[in-house]
Structure formats: structure tokens, C-alpha cells
Amino acid sequence: MDLKKHLAFIKTVESGSLTQAAAILNYTQPNISQMISKLEEEYGFPLLIRQRHGVRPTANGLKVLHIMKEIQKNYEKLSETVDNINGLERGEIRLGTVTSVAVKWLPKILREFNVLYPSIKVHLFEGNSTELEEWLKDDQVDAAIGTSHSGKWHFYPLAEDPIVVVMSPQHELAQCETVPLHVMESVKCIVPYPETHFDVLKVLKEEKITPRIAYQIRGDEAIIAMVRNNLGISLLPQLLVNDCDVLIKRLDRYVCRQIGILTARAKETQTPSVQKLIQCIKDWVAIHQASV
């Protein structure tokens, strides 16, 4: 079994390109092509469909891809475990995260983690909740920090993040202590798309609220900028809008999203590096939760 050939095939499928896979693995493009050709000879069937603008896996290639990824992951776990036994703490982690966590939490968490484990490298992938779940499904990340809606993943709760109303200081509701959810039916609203903030739209759906939509935008910064310019109010997680130049108003009842760590693997099958990062995240949030 040649793990290098497996990795060449995995990276080629993930990138959709022999050239990009070569760059990622520090090989030449002919090297990658040759390794995959040898795998095809060994297996007795094609693994890739070569197209004008890249490559994609054959049906049989997809069948063996998942098994190859499992072999690679188990080999990584074995290597890290052996290193840990010998007193060496090193490894690589692919961590997905929603924007608010990437901005508000991760710089401080990773600073502490780098002090504790300087030889463990963390690769960050920023996306929305839908993208995080896709990355977990496709094994593009080892863990993710976000919210879970599908129930497919192992979920480690971290903190509740209140859903709040944000508005310009010049807005007609600026003097209100709290804001009833139903006012979103009568004032102009700027709302996110479902894949960006599922939790926010879930609140409106559960309460049978149909907001008066002035604008629907995907980007968080764009929503906040339009709110700041008094083009409407919005409903957003508090972690996202803390320290932004907008008014933050509580709803007249408590509504929140649950932020946590999502993994496709149970704890006992995670690499030591992933386990260490998860524990570091849990510890940091437990200490700083009051300021979250």
C-alpha cells in the first residue's frame, strides 16, 4: 500500500486539478499523473475522468476515495500517537468556523493554543453554517465551530449566543428598551439568506413572522453597513455585532443560537491534535463565557 499515491488521488479530486494537487503536495504534475496511473493499473479500473478544464472522479473512483481518506486519517492518528508517546506534540488540523467566531474568539484561542502546542499547525476555513456541514461531509475539515441544524454530527456545546435587533441610532425604534419581534412586519428589514444565518430565519419562521424585507444580503459586513446607514433594522447573533457601530436592542423575549464544535468523528477516533484543540477551545470559552 502506497500512501503517497492515495494522497495524490485525494488531493487531485479535492482540487479538481492535477496541477493544483502537484502544487499542494510539492510534486510536479507528471509525478502526480504517474502515481494515479499506477493506482489505476493496480486496481484494474480508471479513477479519474480527464476533462479539458480539469479532472473528476469516476464512479469507482468515488467508491474508493472514502476508504483512502479513512486510511490517511488513521495513519495520521497513528503517527501523532507515536509522536506523543515519544514526547513530540505535532500535527496538522483543518478547522472550519463561522465568521463571528473567526473574528471574536479564534485569534485569542489560537494564541493560547500556539503557546501550548507550537508544533501543531492549524489551517482555518471560514464559511457559513451550510458550508461547514458540506466540508464536514466531504472530509475537508477535521472540526468546525458553528451551529448544528441537521443532527448528523457530533456536537459539543460551547455557549449560547443571543439573537438581537440591530439598528442605526437615528432609527425610529432607537429609544425602545426592547423590541417585539412582530415589528419586523411593519418596519424595513435587512435580512440574511438562509444558508448564511439559518438560526435567525428559523426564529421568524417559528413565530410566523413575515418581515418587511427592504434588502436581502449574504454578507454580514454588508448587512451591518446598511443598518448603520439607517436603511433598515436586522436580526443578528450578538457575537457578530458586538463592537460594531450600531445600536443593539434585546428582543422582548430571549432567543439564542447554540454555538458548538462539530466533528464527523467520535472523540476516540480523532487525532491527538484535534482532541487537544477541541479541549483548548472548550477551556477558553468556559473561562471567557461571561464576556462572550
Domain residue spans of the chain:
3-82, 89-158+258-291, 163-257
Q: Span 152-176, mean pLDDT?
A: 92
CB 240 within 8 A of CB 129: no
pLDDT value of position 243: 82
Q: Span 174-184, mean pLDDT?
A: 91
Amino acid sitting at position 108: K
CB neighbours of 111 closer than 8 A, spacing ≥ 6? none
CB neighbours of 209 closer than 8 A, spacing ≥ 6? 181, 182, 184, 185, 203
Can you read off the three cell numbers belonging to residue 103? Answer: 473574528
CB 279 within 8 A of CB 163: no
Give the C-alpha separation, 246 to 240, whole Å.
Answer: 12
Of 78-92, 154-168, 258-272, which range is least confident?
78-92
Most confident of 9-13, 72-76, 79-83: 9-13
Is pLDDT at 84 greater than 80 in this prediction? no
CB burial class (10 A; 0-12, 13-18, 19+) of residue 142?
A: buried
Of 104-113, 114-123, 199-208, which range is least confident?
199-208
Split at pLDDT 50, 70, 90, the class of 1 is: low
Homologous superfamily, domain 89-158+258-291? Periplasmic binding protein-like II (3.40.190.10)
Instruction: Return the closest-CA partner of residue 183 out of 206, 211, 215.
Output: 211
Q: Span 159-175, mean pLDDT?
A: 93
Of 164 and 194, the structure prediction assigns the larger pLDDT to: 164
Strand (E) positions, the chain? 48-51, 54-57, 91-97, 120-126, 143-146, 154-167, 178-179, 188-192, 212-217, 234-237, 247-251, 256-263
State how far Cα 85 lies from the chain centre. Answer: 31
Can you read off the three cell numbers belonging to residue 92? Answer: 496538522
Q: What is the 3-state secondary structure (H, E, C) of 214-265?
A: EEEECCHHHHHHHHHCCCCEEEEEHHHHCCCCCEEEEECCCCEEEEEEEECC
Say how many CA atoms lie within 13 Å of 105 toward its Cβ.
31
Can you read off the three cell numbers belonging to residue 10? Answer: 485525494
pLDDT value of position 139: 86
CB neighbours of 174 closer than 8 A, spacing ≥ 6? 167, 168, 247
Domains 3-82 and 163-257 share a fold: no
Q: What are phi and psi of 75, to 5 degrees?
A: -65, -40
CB 55 within 8 A of CB 33: no
- The yes or no reply on domain 163-257 and CATH 3.60.15.10 is no
Amino acid sitting at position 216: Q
Q: Which residue has the cell 438560526?
A: 199
CATH code: domain 3-82 is 1.10.10.10
Instruction: Return the closest-CA partner of residue 6 out of 76, 53, 54.
Output: 76
